[in-house]
Amino acid sequence: MPKKPVETGRPSAKVSLHIGASFRAAWETILLPWFQAAGQISWQQRQPTVVAMPFRSQAYAIKRLLLDRGVSLLGIRFVSPAELRELLAARSEMHLALREHLRLLLSIAAEECMKLPVDPPLREKRMLEADFLAAKSVARAPDHLLRTIDQLGAAGWDFSAVELPALREITTRFHRRLADCGFELIHAADRRALDQAVASPPLFTNILVTGFNGAHWPLWPLLQAAVLSAKNATVLLDDPSDAARDIDETWVGTWEEGFGEAKQVSLPPNQITDSLFSEEEMRGASPVAIGRSFLVGADTREQAEAVAQQCLHFLADPTCDRVGIVFSGPGALPRLVASALARLDISHYDGLAHFLPGIFEAADWRAWLRLQESPRINSLLHFVNTLSDHAEIFPDVSLNAFERTLRSAYAEVLIDDLDILRRFCEQESGGTKEKVAAALNSISFLPARARFPEFLRATKAALNRLGWRSHWMEISRRTGDWVHKLDIEFSRALCLRWLGEIAFTFTAARETIGDHPYARVQLLSVPQAHSQQWSHLIFAGWNEGSWPPRETGEFARQDEIDAFNRSIQK
């Protein structure tokens, strides 16, 4: 029975829901007619026409089919979920924090809960209490708790609904710090965008939402907001799969609850009408054998060569339209396969790409972080050896003399702390120790505890002293006014971890011949290859344990998760 559409507070958007059992049926009956109709008017409209899809690879596949049919794409914009969120944010500011910022704020909140009393017996007792141990764990590794907060928030629940009393104070302080900095979590921002969509005029003329399924539950408020922000919306859902039928059926049912009953996509005339048997097979003909080959390589390089040769063999087949090379994830094998295809001069699209390191992936930056974390002799010498010009630190003494004098001083005081060694060397005037003391004094260290602006000023001074102005420019580009709103001192360890996480300059790179989005050969991951039509497929590197991904573990114990789920069902 059709459900009533959601109440929008304005003239309801015209939404049509469809369920496609196959890509071919959806293409002929829904996708192609939609693009043909939208392409005629999209370039004349003031408001954009949008197509929302999970991955760019799926958008490229649709574009290729449309270009083959001569369908105009002028005025039609393909967007990913992140780009869709940016479009919706145009009418209401979203203050989303980077993941690195959230981890820092959560660690600071945990550190706040670790204050110890002055009295030694009370201090020892406090260090054994459950909430202190939980805070200590979160401060060191905040990702697990942050993921739990995200999962509960995406499902519409507050953390207080979970029976984890040792963590409630941490999450309370975390949300307080978020508010102080003007940030909001992504699920809260999506729900606010949904509220805005209900009360605001349409933002899009037409929108097509396709390719999303039960694996995209966290995107439900965002997609719902996008549909309600359009004058006309078409949503194409996948038929529930056998592997995750319960989840997919719930996903479809949620859409139907909000926008009415979904129409089953009918297969075109004269096409296959049974998913299990062809028309010839039902008349008694022998089934057509599907060619399957299993290739084994002794190592990754042999596997890559085998994949490339198999791809070459497929391309020679007159019936070959598109070849999908599907990997379980990024790694050495996709990169070697891309290189092998390039050597064979086969145009392809490397959807996984490979990452080229930047300035923050160099050995000197990592050594500087270790030196700041542990100002000892070995970390200092390791850092100095990574520098191309030692004169930046000690222009008046050679590297050998510097190390020899430093180790001699350590042999006398038996403490390798650089501050103590500097003070010891300062006692001698006119010799090598004085030069070593001057060199140690020229190295800037971050304070043990400080407020965030103070840490950033100290970082800027230290990097400028080394001539690393480009490093500081990258770091400052990733901060903002929010750092001045974080009015609390925290430890140097948290700041250094944040610096190590935020300093990321890897760039995705591909061979020139591997950067053709509409090529017949596509190198993709499993989610990227989903909801596409292929004539030939190669599954590469699917050794035992490579798929599905291994469980990362949840923050709560399994019995606590089960108890929470039972409480929801009551």
Confidence of residue 553 (pLDDT cuts 50, 70, 90): low
What pLDDT score was predicted for residue 275?
A: 45
What pLDDT score was predicted for residue 283?
A: 59
Confidence of residue 556 (pLDDT cuts 50, 70, 90): low
Whether 111 has a pLDDT exceeding 80, the answer reads: yes
Confidence of residue 23 (pLDDT cuts 50, 70, 90): confident
| Cβ count near 23 (within 10 Å) | 17
What pLDDT score was predicted for residue 311?
A: 96
Confidence of residue 73 (pLDDT cuts 50, 70, 90): very high
Nearest in space to 499 (alpha carbons), one of 366, 381, 364: 366
Residues 248-274 as b/e (b if ≥16 CB within 10 A, e otherwise) read beebbeebbebbbebeebebeeeeeee
Domains of the chain and CATH, by start? 14-93+188-264 (3.40.50.300), 99-182 (no CATH), 291-357+506-570 (3.40.50.300), 360-488 (no CATH)
Percent of the chain scoring above 70 in pLDDT: 89
H-assigned helices in 262-322:
279-282, 300-315
Tokens describing residue 113: 């809960």
Whether 278 has a pLDDT exceeding 90, the answer reads: no
What pLDDT score was predicted for residue 530?
A: 87
Nearest in space to 527 (alpha carbons), one of 307, 351, 380: 351
Confidence of residue 104 (pLDDT cuts 50, 70, 90): very high
What pLDDT score was predicted for residue 256?
A: 94
Q: Summarize the confidence of residues 28-38 as an average pLDDT.
A: 94
| Cβ count near 519 (within 10 Å) | 20
Whether 547 has a pLDDT exceeding 90, the answer reads: no
Whether 52 has a pLDDT exceeding 90, the answer reads: yes
Specify the range with the lowest mean pLDDT, choosing from 60-74, 278-292, 395-409, 410-424.
Answer: 278-292
What pLDDT score was predicted for residue 567?
A: 67
Nearest in space to 223 (alpha carbons), one of 73, 50, 60, 10: 50
Over the stretch 124-162, which tens digit does the pLDDT of each residue have?
Answer: 999 999 999 999 999 999 999 999 999 888 888 888 778
What pLDDT score was predicted for residue 6?
A: 46
Let me know: does 61 contact 232? Beta carbons within 8 Å.
no
What pLDDT score was predicted for residue 292?
A: 84
Whether 455 has a pLDDT exceeding 90, the answer reads: yes
User: Cα torsion for 75, 239, 269, 32, to the nearest 10°?
Assistant: 10
Q: Tokens 């998760």 map to which residue? A: 561
Q: Summarize the confidence of residues 350-357 as an average pLDDT.
A: 92
Distance between CA 235 and CA 14 in Å, rounded? 11
Nearest in space to 465 (alpha carbons), one of 481, 483, 442: 442
Nearest in space to 26 (alpha carbons), one of 206, 212, 237, 265: 265
Whether 511 has a pLDDT exceeding 60, the answer reads: yes
Q: Summarize the confidence of residues 394-423 as an average pLDDT.
A: 88
Specify the range with the lowest mean pLDDT, choosing from 194-208, 424-438, 510-524.
Answer: 424-438
Specify the range with the lowest mean pLDDT, choosing from 41-50, 282-291, 418-427.
Answer: 282-291
Whether 272 has a pLDDT exceeding 50, the answer reads: no
Distance between CA 114 and CA 112 in Å, rounded? 5
Choose between 276 and 327: higher pLDDT: 327
Ramachandran assignment for 238, one of left (phi > 0), alpha (psi -120 to 50 degrees), beta (any other) = beta
> What rounded mean pLDDT belongs to the chain?
88
Q: Summarize the confidence of residues 379-386 as an average pLDDT.
A: 92
Confidence of residue 7 (pLDDT cuts 50, 70, 90): very low
What pLDDT score was predicted for residue 345?
A: 96
What pLDDT score was predicted for residue 569?
A: 58
Whether 555 has a pLDDT exceeding 70, the answer reads: no
Percent of the chain scoring above 90 in pLDDT: 62
Confidence of residue 557 (pLDDT cuts 50, 70, 90): low
Whether 90 has a pLDDT exceeding 90, the answer reads: no
Nearest in space to 417 (alpha carbons), one of 375, 369, 371: 375
Whether 93 has a pLDDT exceeding 90, the answer reads: no
Q: At what angle do helices 130-140 and 99-112 cross, to 10 degrees?
A: 150
Confidence of residue 559 (pLDDT cuts 50, 70, 90): low
